[in-house]
Copies of this chain bind each other. A is one copy, B any other.
Amino acid sequence: MSTTLLNSRDLDFLLYELLDTETLLKRPRYQDHSREVFNATLDTAHTISQRYFANHNAKGDANEPHFDGKAVQMIPETKAAWDALAEAGFLAAHYDADEDGLQLPEIILRAAMAYFNAGNIATSAYPFLSIGAANLIHSFGSDEQKATYLPAMREGRFAGTMALTEPNQGSALADITTTASPQPDGSYHLRGQKMYISGGDQNITENIIHLVLAKIDGAPVGTKGISLFICPKVLVNTDGSLGERNDVALAGLLHKMGYRNTTSTVLSFGENGGAKGYLIGEAHKGLNYMFQMMNEARIGVGLGAAVLGYQGYNYSLNYARERPQGRLPSNKDPKSAQINIIQHADVRRMLLAQKSYVEGALALCLYATSLYEDSRTADTEHQRQQAFLVLDLITPIVKSWPSKYGLKANEIAIQVLGGAGYIREYPVEQYYRDNRLNPIHEGTEAIHGIDILGRKVLLHNGAGLTLFNETVATSLVEAEKHPELSTLITPVSDGLQTLNKVTTTLISNMAENTDLSLANATVYLDLFGRVLVSWLWLKQALTAARGLAQKNIHESDENFYQGKIQAARYYIQWELPEIGPQADLLCRFDDVPFTMKNEWF
């Protein structure tokens, strides 16, 4: 009972036709690689995911981790998956060769992670978090810290977490109350409680390296007083061997609707004197450092949400192709054979909606990753800066859009299956339960709305949005050459102008009336997302049109390209037009929620 994981034809299209990943081979860092190496990496990820991740996706959901009085117990397949991934080198793959890494580009590794996500989103959370934690230590830790923790994290002996949230502050990091008291040996004693810490305890690695936000005694209030600490579950001796158990205790496991094989924990730090913590970088700059991990995680969350949507789409598509039921409305002959449900227009609508969401979301996440890659390895400083500006601007969308529409895709997949979609005997309801997490963690939708409208579009005098405008304009000019794309050009062009107009209107009032200007930021986030994804669909359609223009293409490629163009039509003709009413309410500074009173509810 093998599960279809993603669609390798589509991944190929996105990586090599849409995003031109092969040109990375010209950059010094990748010159020893080849497209074959990239593909072999993806094949390995695909195979490992099929064998070690997909095998226990349902089992991990039905047998969630539990605390047996002594330790967290998990189904053994979880550790086998972790080990297989570590042994194949994926925990170290993005490091340089001289750091025992594979020196592979980020976009290939994201695509590999997409395969792990597709097999089992909950189990893949452990390596996902560990890679992010190790990257953070790599970027900001001292040489000693790197030497102490990174080898074991790359080998898979240690896992990592990010411990930000506390029971009483949720998203408001400024108000965390975990404290850090300096000790004579230069370390700190951490005291406080963290909540919703994914992977905060487990039985798959010999140690867990928590990256903890806390406030040093006497630190400034608010975000400017937050520091970042390494706080291992088990202390590590200077020779790398394990020492004493640190004063970090599992206060409880939380029981989620989905993502069940990822432990969600409440952790108590310092209940018996103080949990030993080691400051990363400078005091009070912890949030800045953590943002590196958060920004990485935000693309990762978007990707996971896209992939869960993708898996539901795959399943419901296969189901619709094989399930006979009913006849076309025009056919009144009950003696005629039933048709497969994919022949019903509304089922095709549901499949097209899913296709446009999940392939659009995957394209968005890989595009963001290519910007990330460019921001680090593009040839010139100017190119690197430009890539960073666009990436920084769109990161809130890269996290939020796939989370919202990946979930919606899963909701639709259930609907395609009907009753079968609602029962646990079929896999789609689990994808839906799993995906409901993604609009919440790594910043809720509301927080990303305020981030993009209240901060990101304003940075560097709006340079990111200007660059985005130029990028879209280039695609529009190229699209003019292809008559089959003619219906797509005006809506995308108008959509971009709408985005610009709305942005100008809202920021013109920002200083004077901040709260009202930001009141509908979640709507702005969705509007921007629709424009951005419409452009990505135009770009996919453009790439497909070029593919169709090739001579002697294979019939399967022709179908694939036609499907891309039709999905672009669907998205641009069915989903983009909702920005009309959205722009209206944003530009009139609609104050209905803003003026609603507590006592009126």
Which residues of A does B touch, CB under 8 Å? 165, 168-172, 174-175, 195-196, 221-224, 254-258, 264, 317, 321, 323-330, 334-335, 338, 342-349, 351-352, 355, 407, 411, 414-415, 418-419, 421-425, 429, 432-433, 436-437, 439-441, 444-446, 449-450, 454, 514-515, 518-522, 559-560, 562-563, 566, 569-570, 573-574, 577-578, 580-581, 584-585, 590, 592-601
Contacts and interface: CB of A to CB of B under 8 A. Distances in A.
B578 A593 contact: no
Given A600-B562, A601-B351, A172 B330 contact: no
Contact of A515 (B223, B335, B345, B559): B345
Given A418-B170, A581-B580, A346 B257 contact: no
B338 A175 contact: yes
A512 to B, nearest CB: 10
A299 to B, nearest CB: 21
A223 B332 CA distance: 11
21 contacts: A170-B419, A171-B418, A175-B338, A221-B334, A222-B334, A223-B334, A256-B422, A256-B423, A257-B433, A258-B422, A329-B450, A330-B514, A342-B601, A349-B522, A419-B441, A432-B436, A560-B600, A566-B600, A570-B596, A573-B585, A578-B578
- The secondary structure that dominates the A interface is helix
A345 B590 contact: no
Contacts of A596: 348, 351-352, 563, 566, 570
Given A221-B334, A418-B444, A573-B592, A454 B195 contact: no
A328 B570 CA distance: 39
Contact of A522 (B326, B346, B351, B521): B346
B440 A422 contact: yes
A414 B597 CA distance: 21
Given A257-B433, A593-B570, A264 B423 contact: yes
Contacts of A168: 324
Nearest to A421: B440
A439 B415 contact: yes
Given A169-B325, A444-B415, A450-B329, A593 B223 contact: no
A134 to B, nearest CB: 25
B256 A594 contact: no
Nearest to A598: B342
A331 B432 CA distance: 37
Contacts of A515: 328-330, 345
Contacts of A423: 254-257, 264
B348 A593 contact: yes
A400 to B, nearest CB: 12
Nearest to A172: B326
A125 to B, nearest CB: 14
Given A170-B418, A325-B170, A335-B221, A345 B518 contact: yes
Contact of A429 (B221, B257, B324, B338): B257
Nearest to A569: B592
Contact of A562 (B338, B569, B597): B597
A584 B594 contact: no
Given A264-B423, A329-B514, A522-B349, A590 B566 contact: no
A584 to B, nearest CB: 7
Q: Which 7 residue pairs across A and B have the least CB separation, nearest first?
A: A222-B334, A563-B600, A345-B519, A577-B581, A349-B593, A346-B446, A172-B326
A593 B345 contact: yes
